[in-house]
Amino acid sequence: MFSLIENEVIKMISKKRLLFVFAILIVLISVFAYGQNQTQERTKAQLTQRMGITATDDWRKLADQQLIDMKNRLDSPYRGENSKASLRVRMEQLQYNLDQNINPLEQSAAKFTTRFMEQSIFLFLPLLIIMLAADMVSGESSSGTIKLLLVRNVPRWKILLSKYLTLIILEVIVLFFAFVLSVVISGIFFGFGGWFAPVATGFKVLAGKLDSTSVLNVPQWNYSLMVYSLAFFVAVVVGSISFMISVLVKSTAASIGIIMSTLVAGNFISFFLSDWKVTRYMFMVNLRLTDYLSGSFQPIEGMNMLFSITVLLGWTIASLIISFVYFTKQDILV
Amino acid sequence: MQQPAVLELANLRKTIKGKEIVKGVNLTLNPSQIFGFLGPNGAGKTTTIRMIVGLIKPTEGSVTICGYSVAHNFVKALSNVGCIIESPDMYKYLTGMENLLQLAAMDKKISKQRINDVVEMVGLQHRVNDKVDTYSLGMRQRLGIAQAIMARPKLLILDEPTNGLDPAGMTEFRKLIRKLAYEDGMAVFVSSHLLLEIQQMCDVVSIIKQGSVITTTLVQDILHDDKIEWQLNDPEKAITLLREHWNIVAVRLKNDTISADIGQHSLDKLNEFLIREGIALTYCSTKQHTLEDLFLDLTVGDEIV
């Protein structure tokens, strides 16, 4: 099995597809980082103009003021538990900024790296995975080399499994590189710090509303780790589905086309047909897992982290079963 | 105990999309035998081969390789097989050597030394480190043969193996196949529509047409079967006379030429008889029956299905 996986990795590297994925990552991250940098400069300029403070120097005064303000609001007996919790979290963050002398307006490599993945998880990351997964099997079908593999003294399921495991290895590599490249490139712009800054998480949906009673702060590195773990899960899900399409369809172009259009369609289906309940069982609308962490999701009754993960797991398992059954039974006529 | 046949096909059938492509093929192949599988395009040659190596499942019947059923004991059966199916498709983005290493990695018993040996055997040593992308069809064919014989299989299956080979390459190829069969004891299964190729290379030939094997014979038997051609003044009369007196079926080839299989009859006596009956013979020749005649006799006029 090990030599089969080694074979697949050698093929993947020789095809230069992995290199292509890295190139895209480098270009995109650089553009993002540059853009973020510009935005930050503009925001600072605006603040200076509007409030008469120099963002770089006077932010402490502002933070102090906000902190006192929030403490007063927290003490007010008319506040609900919900808003008290979020106030407490906000205060902790401000206090941390003051203690560590970190301007909250400043970007950091840690913040950028996390945000980059949060923004990539539902479209950009899946696209990269599709580039790798969609021709793993169909590529061999269209070039006829699948025959070379299937007439060896190796059972078919082993060959497919080696391909699938290779895909998982590639997913890890892609995420690892996305992380490292984000850190390095954004670090050049914003400095390499920020890993211990507190980030709020733990949002819930109760009765169709965002509930923040159980919100708490976790260090940025911890939060990043969660985001990248979820991204890995999403990569596995999208990878498995593309893998299935790649088994079912004989041409690479068709398999990339099918899975890409599904993905893109999913992004506006969730927007247009949000009242149609069936759509929530589609894998495409459940990919924004990190939104559950940051509390930036549209609260829909019944949709939460557990629900989305269950739906995605269902898709993954179904894809794998279909792939393996079809691949081991099919007649190879190419 | 008798060794099992290298390859045994029993009543092999395949129906694809409601159309019966292979209609009950029975074959037995022994070690050191070079077997030719001859048929026009679309006769079901490749479909049969695909069933042998397990790429497609037979609708009915069974394939047994060295005593192991392909359907029930795929891994053991396929351990004895090396093959090229239809065309020598290789990974174009890898070099010839990388291709061989990939496939060798799937079979533990192939050593680096063995790979170098087969590369030399097929005469690819100077180009083996170039990308397959840059290979000609003939070179890819050689690479295909190299990967097929790499694991020293007991059964070597070659589908249209001489496609794209130059004349020198073909001669080399024949020599190599003979060596593999007669010295190393491989059974070789060659499918082709090139008659001459089969005639020059094979011991046994099966002719397949529209999914059925029409005939299986030793190639030398066909070659010894003599056929006579007469050029004479009254072909109609000669045909009638031969039929009535000698029970020989003659056919008219051209205006003044007839031809017939005379079997055990003596040509001297026949000629004497014809002259006695008043027929003027201009010319008489013995033509060695070639495989081509047999093939055309059996398959001519049929549309490709």
Neighbours of A66 (CB within 10 A): 14
CA angle, corner B98, sides to B92 and B100, nearest 5? Answer: 100
* B226-288 CATH pick, 3.30.70.3400, 1.10.3760.10, 3.40.50.10440, 3.40.50.300: 3.30.70.3400
Neighbours of B224 (CB within 10 A): 10
Q: So what's the pLDDT on residue B96?
A: 93
Report how far residue A168's alpha carbon sits from residue B41's, in angstroms, rounded to the nearest whole number.
43
User: Given a cut of 70, is residue A55 above it in pLDDT?
Assistant: no
Query: CA of A124 to nearest chain B CA: how many angstroms apart?
Result: 27
Q: So what's the pLDDT on residue A138?
A: 92
Q: So what's the pLDDT on residue B299?
A: 64
CA angle, corner A75, sides to A74 and A79, nearest 5? Answer: 60
Q: So what's the pLDDT on residue A27?
A: 94
Q: Mean per-residue pLDDT for A156-173?
A: 94
Report how far residue B247's alpha carbon sits from residue B180's, in angstroms, rounded to the nearest whole number.
45
Q: Report CA-CA distances (Å) from B238 to A126, A181, A280, B244, B251.
A: 82, 93, 88, 10, 10
Q: Mean per-residue pLDDT for A184-200?
A: 82
Probe site for chain A from B51, B68, B106, B108 (most A CB atoms < 10 A): B106
Query: CA of A148 to nearest chain B CA: how many angstroms apart?
Result: 8
Q: In the numeric block, which tokens belong to residue B153?
A: 């299989």
Q: So what's the pLDDT on residue B288?
A: 65
Task: Name the residue with higher pLDDT: A325 or B275.
Answer: A325
Q: So what's the pLDDT on residue A211?
A: 67
Q: Mean per-residue pLDDT for A311-325?
A: 95
Asked if the Cβ–Cβ distance from A151 to B83 is below 8 Å, we say yes
User: Given a cut of 80, is residue A78 above it in pLDDT?
Assistant: no
Among the residues of chain A, which ranges form H helices?
Answer: 2-14, 17-51, 55-75, 81-100, 109-120, 124-133, 138-143, 146-150, 156-190, 220-248, 252-272, 290-294, 305-329
Q: So what's the pLDDT on residue B304?
A: 42
Q: Are strands B68-69 and A198-201 parallel, antiparallel or unpaired?
A: unpaired
Asked if the Cβ–Cβ distance from A151 to B55 is below 8 Å, we say yes
Q: In the numeric block, which tokens belong to residue A232?
A: 């890995």
Q: In the numeric block, which tokens belong to residue A272?
A: 């247009």
Pick A147's closest partner by Cβ from B85, B93, B106: B85
CB-based contact (8 Å) between A49 and chain B?
Answer: no
User: Given a cut of 90, is residue A48 above it in pLDDT?
Assistant: no
**DSSP letter assigned to residue B303:** P
Probe site for chain B from A7, A151, A163, A252 (most B CB atoms < 10 A): A151
Q: How far is CA A83 from the centre of its chain?
A: 28
Q: Given the cut 0.85, state whether the ipTM is greater than it.
A: no
Q: So what's the pLDDT on residue A205?
A: 63
Pick A153's closest partner by Cβ from B85, B86, B107: B107
Q: So what's the pLDDT on residue B189?
A: 93
Pick A333's closest partner by Cβ from B56, B79, B106: B56
Report how far residue B60's alpha carbon sits from residue B53's, in angstroms, rounded to the nearest whole number.
15
CA angle, corner A194, sides to A189 and A200, nearest 5? Answer: 125
**Any idea where the domains of chain B sit in the sequence?**
7-222, 226-288
Q: Mean per-residue pLDDT for A71-96?
A: 74
Q: So what's the pLDDT on residue A129?
A: 93
Amino acid at A103: N
Q: So what's the pLDDT on residue B298?
A: 66
Per-residue pLDDT band for A314 (boundaries 50, 70, 90) equals: very high
How many Cβ pairs within 8 Å bridge chains A and B? 76
What average pLDDT does chain A have? 84
Asked if the Cβ–Cβ distance from B55 to A7 is below 8 Å, we say no
On chain A, the residues whose CB falls within 8 A of the CB of B55 are 147, 150-151, 331-333
Please identify among residues 10-29 of chain B the ones whose CB lies closer than 8 Å to any CB of chain A: 16
Probe site for chain B from A142, A149, A152 (most B CB atoms < 10 A): A152
User: Given a cut of 80, is residue A272 above it in pLDDT?
Assistant: no
CB-based contact (8 Å) between B231 and chain A?
Answer: no
Q: So what's the pLDDT on residue B305?
A: 36
On chain B, the residues whose CB falls within 8 A of the CB of A136 are none
Report how far residue B7's alpha carbon sits from residue B64's, in angstroms, rounded to the nearest whole number.
6
User: Given a cut of 60, is residue A54 above it in pLDDT?
Assistant: no
Task: Kindly write down the DSSP assignment for every residue of B162-203, as one continuous string.
Answer: TTT--HHHHHHHHHHHHIIIIIT--EEEEEES-HHHHHHH-S
Query: CA of B256 to nearest chain A CA: how many angstroms apart?
Result: 50
Whether the Cβ atoms of residue B216 and residue B189 lie closer than 8 Å to each other: no
Three-class DSSP category at B12 = strand
pLDDT tens for chain B, 305 residues long, are 467 789 999 999 999 888 888 988 999 999 989 999 988 888 888 899 999 999 999 999 999 999 999 999 999 999 999 999 888 889 999 999 999 999 999 887 888 999 999 999 888 889 999 999 999 888 898 899 999 999 899 999 998 887 778 888 888 888 999 999 998 889 999 998 877 788 888 889 898 888 888 888 887 776 665 678 888 888 888 888 888 888 888 888 877 888 887 777 778 888 888 888 888 888 888 776 666 666 776 666 554 43
Q: So what's the pLDDT on residue A207?
A: 59
* DSSP strands (E only) in chain B: 7-16, 19-29, 34-38, 60-65, 68-69, 81-84, 155-159, 187-192, 204-209, 212-218, 226-232, 250-254, 257-261, 281-288
For the domain bounded by B7-222, which CATH number is listed? 3.40.50.300
